[in-house]
A and B are shown apart, each in its own frame.
Chain A
């Protein structure tokens, strides 16, 4: 386990920024809510084997007591670095992103299943979309009951969505809750 170096931190922040925008500051500087201490401190990012974890300072301090080969993880995993050094957000970050993301997309009830199987969101599944979504923004996909299903990147802006074809892709799939079943071995 080690802190991220500058290059790695920049990569992680940039990926998170696509979803949260200026809320990223809040994400990183909010007082922690987990841990047994009275003042758990802030949240920090730690790297263990190629995964990045989001944990409170109290938790990190306690995790130093576990030997390195035996440490499986600390706090919430948010993503991983690939073999060649690119950073990808994984589905474990869903709770965090759903709480802090700026743009959301709501799916119609019948079409949720398609997204949970790993497909991108066509316009026909779209029930609502945040008004000022731009192309390339990170978007959290929710069901009509406000349950976060996954996240992705907006392929069209909110205005373009209205004019688009019914089969046009609106949100490019990045991760969904169905991966916990489909990719069980890979995620753990």
Chain B
């Protein structure tokens, strides 16, 4: 269902979504500001302690501060709760002091059955004998249960007992047949905890090839074993299993995953080098190769720059000390870094932006966005200019960008570019409405005036007069346009 362009535009303009926008110029926000003022003006009347809020709790119970209390223990683990409690009541945290509250009934009353509390009625109903088991932990297990160890439960009953958390010996399932019936029962019972328990038993009592072979046709159980091996960190067995199943891509990914646990960069680099030969898809192999190359580069750049920075010779590092190391950062961050600190370097050096662009085949769009952000941050407007200037064969210059100029404007604006710089790019925004919006928002008067002139919109242009300064060149410009008899106004 692909609609024609015209349709879409009409759609968006007549759209039902227009009712609300997240533009900051919106009426809604001013409404909000007004409410805020109103509320704030009341502050003097009502301001005192901060307690009310934190005490609110929908059941009316005070909410204690266990989390807070724990944070405190970890910082000074010697003091005990007594001290804690008193400081709590002074209200030193954002929590208010809470009244001591003793639980309204005790557990023993729960087990007696009927309770006088009216709201408890339905529970006591539910608690008639068997129900109790659900709420009371099975702490005092009758001695008899331990005897079940040797009883002859059927596979189904065994699974059912295990689902209910009862101890059950699996040792008597010795034939392969019995083991598999047990496993199938566990899967049929849907309880993953029991499935894993049976698998642990099978893993212990079966040769791995046999276990693997049987799991190949039991996908649910297989998932459980794989997850279990991941969690317990039995990497070698996991890889054997995946290899047995011919899941080569998972073998590769699972090995690659280990790099996350290697802290030392040199070791990590070595490890990644080894990953290149793993059986990834062709596409992923190149990603892994890039990962390795990137870290290799970062190690070189980091060593150089740390040296430069500490020597204090380089102006850029003195002016803008590095906030963090570049190691293990994504490629785009590395590119930003190199556009920031190494922009003018020749392509031959590892840290130069052009070198990075070439090595990693960074698309133009991505490169320009990143370079723009970096140079704008340094307020290097000339570099920004050069980034978009192209010369044709006659030597005329023209501004071109692989991204929309509205994006360029946005990035420049975020870096507090002066109006003169901003204006130049606002003018290049193709869509008239967007251009007008941006120009108005960032007070690029020239652009606004010229756009209204081109639209032959006298009413808007006249209205804009009040937005420019009295007696300024802008006002003069508006007046001269309005007085121009050559223009055939549309209104």
Q: Do A and B come from one complex?
A: no
Which residues of A pack against B, CB within 8 Å? none
Which residues of B pack against A, CB within 8 Å? none
